[in-house]
A and B are shown apart, each in its own frame.
Chain A
Amino acid sequence: MATRPTVTERDSLGTAADLSRTCAALRRTLLAARNQDGGWGYAPGRHSRIEPTCWAELALGHSQGRPPDVDAIRAWKRQDDWLLDVPGAPPNIAFNALAALMFLQERSTVPLAQPLISRLIQAKGLRYWQSPALGQDNSIQAWPWVDGTASWVEPTAWCLLVLKKVRSQSPRPEAAERIRVGEQFLFDRVCHDGGWNYGNPEVYGQKLWPYVPTTAMALLAMQDHRSHPVVMQSLRQLQNDVASERSVVAVALTIVCLRPYGVATAALEQTAIELSAEADPGNLLGTAMMLYALTDTREHAAFRF
């Protein structure tokens, strides 16, 4: 006769079943929203874009234990080696970095990443005059969203991830200086109590607050500095701030971020399951991020190096 499960065992069994159901539902949502060109828009029925397509492929691949299908991104319209998210608009550097990360997932597709990586190494934000209104060093040229603009946290985080991943797989000497500058930028733009927002920690002496998603991205890029005081403080800030989050994107990115730091994510995964049940099916980026977060527990995941 079977003994009754303990509370812990029952919770664990319940969570596993919930997790399986949730992931299956997220997969169904993504597969149903796939466009004829093989990509995904930010919402069902919308034009395919680089960012949701990369996240969807990463999520579907990892959830099925296979590499991401890169066909849609491989066939993407290009200009000077950049993937063009919107023809007629400037290439988006952050999302090109995300595409490079996807190509780096599988040995056979690594060559597809090389032209993008070369462009990412060359790309840099504008050097700005030192504004007394901003408590930051405007001379640091990390990565902009689009060419001809200043450096910001999110594109810098994604580009750093790419270059650090490449460094661990096949070192490129020219990337070392860009990594140094990118790290200098993130250390400069950290908010007063830790964490990052879009990239201005202070304006006119007023301290601006960090955001959960950008903090998670920046911490992913700085996972090789986990004992640095700024990183440790930001990690605490993230764990504190995410406790009150009810946003799919914020919770998913935090789970993805905390894993390489060895922080337990079980409670957040439970939150993620609850959020997924009531999530807007029109938010395909959030859907893909959540599926990735709930399934990618492998050591060599897309955002680890």
Chain B
Amino acid sequence: MSGDTARAGLSRRDFVTAVSLSLLAGGCGRRFDPRRFHVPQSSVVGLFPASSYAVDFADLIFRGFQELGIALTGRRVFLKPNMVEYELDTVINTHPHVVSGAAIACRRAGASEVVVGEGPGHRRDMEYLLASTGLNDQLREQRIRFVDLNHDDVAVVPLQSWFTGLQELALPVTLLDSDFVISLPKLKTHHWAGMTCSMKNLFGTVPGAVYGWPKNPLHVHGISNSILDLTATIRPHFAIVDAVIAMEGDGPIMGRPRPLGFVAMGSDLVAVDATCARVIGLDPDKIEYLQPAAEFLGVVDASRIEHRGESPDRYGTRFDVVPALEHLRLSR
């Protein structure tokens, strides 16, 4: 991912602070500084079949790393799954098998440390969520460290883009001190944002113990704006999307399960999200946060996205959405 070389030797916190200080003078009035971002000519997104949650996700994701040229030797990896709520027989959260599989795959790829962290936006009670979703069992079994991002220590860091109009945000130190961030979302429709995938998943990094439940400043300043500022500031290195059973309709909580049967992976989160949008029948050019993302964060244009594993056409379908989002439909 662009920027990795420049970050060598710096913690994420150092990097974010150093870059921001240089931006402050020239950033006023602009939504982002194009000198600080690089959109590649093309990006690679892998779609790897997973017919159920019984598959060996560690193997699948490790093969995905190899296919996409990801080496994690010596890296301190931070895995950010999506955990919002729990209700029996729903598919609200990234499946625990995908989370533990990703952690094992990271270790196999050479990571020196793997931490899983999440800060749910509705429930404060992480103990309840970890137990009810079954993630706690997976974490214990694999001896994976978990950090509740809602209650972690925080550092106030300058934002790297200014779509919200905010200048800075408190973010968890465990996230900032890692050196390889992987967004690990569940693919769902979202009744406000259109779709939630690897970029929207970053809402869970914003600490509730600072901003509350839900993280309402992100809504007040615009969900799409917040998605862009968070992605620009955190700059995740990779995305692994749980689209084995996705959610359609009134997502991200009350929607219906919809089996898709794949895991999407890639270093360009914009390209990953754009690909997933097309698969579920939404037009990424109509999704509010993906349009500006194409200007500075990554690739939306399908002709510039190279696919590995399976073709998106194999999975292409049409998800139900709430009536207010019908205008986001892809014209096929």
Binding site for B on A (CB under 8 A): 41-43, 46-47, 49, 51, 85-90, 92, 94, 126, 133, 144-146, 148-150, 152, 154-155, 197-198, 203-204, 206, 208-209, 211-214, 245-250, 280, 283, 285-286
Q: CB of B152 within 8 A of chain A? A: yes
* Chain B residues with CB under 8 A of A247: 125, 127-128, 131
With an 8 Å Cβ cutoff, the count of chain B residues facing the other chain is: 32
Q: Is the CB of A46 within 8 A of B153?
A: yes
Q: Is the CB of B220 within 8 A of A86?
A: no
Q: CB of B274 within 8 A of chain A? A: no
Q: CB of B212 within 8 A of chain A? A: yes
- For residue A221, give the distance in angstroms from its CB to the closest CB of chain B: 17
Q: CB of B168 within 8 A of chain A? A: yes
Please, which residue of chain A has its CB at the minimum distance from the CB of B250?
A: A204
- For residue A210, give the distance in angstroms from its CB to the closest CB of chain B: 11
A/B interface sample: 22 pairs, CB < 8 A: A43-B151, A51-B209, A85-B210, A86-B156, A86-B210, A89-B211, A92-B209, A92-B210, A92-B212, A145-B213, A149-B216, A150-B219, A203-B253, A203-B254, A204-B250, A204-B322, A208-B253, A212-B128, A214-B124, A247-B127, A249-B127, A249-B128
Q: Is the CB of B127 within 8 A of A280?
A: yes
* Chain A residues with CB under 8 A of B123: 198, 211
Q: Is the CB of A150 within 8 A of B125?
A: no
Q: Is the CB of A203 within 8 A of B128?
A: no
Interface string of B113-148 (1 = CB under 8 A from A): 000000000111101100100000000000000001
Q: Is the CB of A211 within 8 A of B212?
A: no
Q: Is the CB of B216 within 8 A of A152?
A: yes
Q: Is the CB of A86 within 8 A of B216?
A: no
A interface secondary structure, majority: loop
Please, which residue of chain A has its CB at the minimum distance from the CB of B323?
A: A204
| Residue from the set B125, B212, B250 with the largest chain A CB neighbour count within 10 Å | B212
Known A47-B153, A148-B220: A198·B125 in contact at CB below 8 Å:
no
Binding site for A on B (CB under 8 A): 87, 122-125, 127-128, 131, 148, 151-154, 156, 168, 170, 191, 209-214, 216-217, 219-220, 250, 253-254, 322, 324
Complex Cα–Cα for A250 and B154 (A): 25
- For residue A289, give the distance in angstroms from its CB to the closest CB of chain B: 11
Q: Is the CB of B213 within 8 A of A198?
A: yes
- For residue A169, give the distance in angstroms from its CB to the closest CB of chain B: 28
Complex Cα–Cα for A145 and B219 (A): 13
Q: Is the CB of A126 within 8 A of B124?
A: no
Please, which residue of chain B has its CB at the minimum distance from the CB of A155?
A: B212
* Chain A residues with CB under 8 A of B213: 145, 152, 154, 198
Q: Is the CB of B127 within 8 A of A248?
A: yes
Complex Cα–Cα for A180 and B88 (A): 37
* Chain A residues with CB under 8 A of B210: 85-86, 89-90, 92, 146
Q: Is the CB of B156 within 8 A of A145?
A: no
Known A133-B324, A250-B128: A204·B191 in contact at CB below 8 Å:
yes
Complex Cα–Cα for A149 and B211 (A): 9
- For residue B89, give the distance in angstroms from its CB to the closest CB of chain A: 13
* Chain A residues with CB under 8 A of B122: 197-198
Q: Is the CB of A42 within 8 A of B152?
A: yes
Q: Is the CB of B154 within 8 A of A86?
A: yes
Q: Is the CB of A149 within 8 A of B212?
A: yes
Complex Cα–Cα for A269 and B99 (A): 34
For the A-B complex with A89-B154, A149-B219, A150-B219 known, give 11 more contacts whose Cβ atoms are closer than 8 Å: A88-B170, A89-B156, A89-B210, A90-B210, A144-B212, A146-B210, A152-B212, A247-B127, A248-B127, A250-B125, A250-B128
Complex Cα–Cα for A245 and B168 (A): 38
Q: Is the CB of A87 within 8 A of B156?
A: yes
- For residue A219, give the distance in angstroms from its CB to the closest CB of chain B: 16
Q: Is the CB of B324 within 8 A of A85?
A: no
Q: Is the CB of A85 within 8 A of B209?
A: yes
* Chain A residues with CB under 8 A of B216: 144-146, 149-150, 152
Complex Cα–Cα for A149 and B216 (A): 6
Q: Is the CB of B220 within 8 A of A150?
A: yes
Complex Cα–Cα for A286 and B87 (A): 23
* Chain B residues with CB under 8 A of A88: 156, 168, 170
Known A88-B168, A146-B217, A204-B191: A49·B209 in contact at CB below 8 Å:
yes
Q: Is the CB of B254 within 8 A of A86?
A: no
* Chain A residues with CB under 8 A of B154: 86, 89
Closest 6 pairs between A and B when the two form their complex, measured CB to CB:
A145-B212, A88-B156, A42-B151, A149-B216, A206-B254, A247-B128
* Chain A residues with CB under 8 A of B127: 246-249, 280, 283, 286
**Which of A42, A246, A280 makes the CB contact (< 8 A) with B209?**
A42
**Which of A94, A150, A209, A250 makes the CB contact (< 8 A) with B87?**
A209
| Residue from the set A94, A149, A286 with the largest chain B CB neighbour count within 10 Å | A149
Q: Is the CB of A149 within 8 A of B220?
A: yes
Q: Is the CB of A94 within 8 A of B124?
A: no
Complex Cα–Cα for A235 and B170 (A): 36
Known A42-B151, A250-B128: A203·B191 in contact at CB below 8 Å:
yes
- For residue B275, give the distance in angstroms from its CB to the closest CB of chain A: 27
- For residue B328, give the distance in angstroms from its CB to the closest CB of chain A: 16
Complex Cα–Cα for A249 and B126 (A): 9
* Chain B residues with CB under 8 A of A150: 216, 219-220
Complex Cα–Cα for A213 and B208 (A): 15
Please, which residue of chain B has its CB at the minimum distance from the CB of A92?
A: B210
Please, which residue of chain B has its CB at the minimum distance from the CB of A88?
A: B156
Please, which residue of chain B has its CB at the minimum distance from the CB of A87?
A: B156
- For residue B273, give the distance in angstroms from its CB to the closest CB of chain A: 23
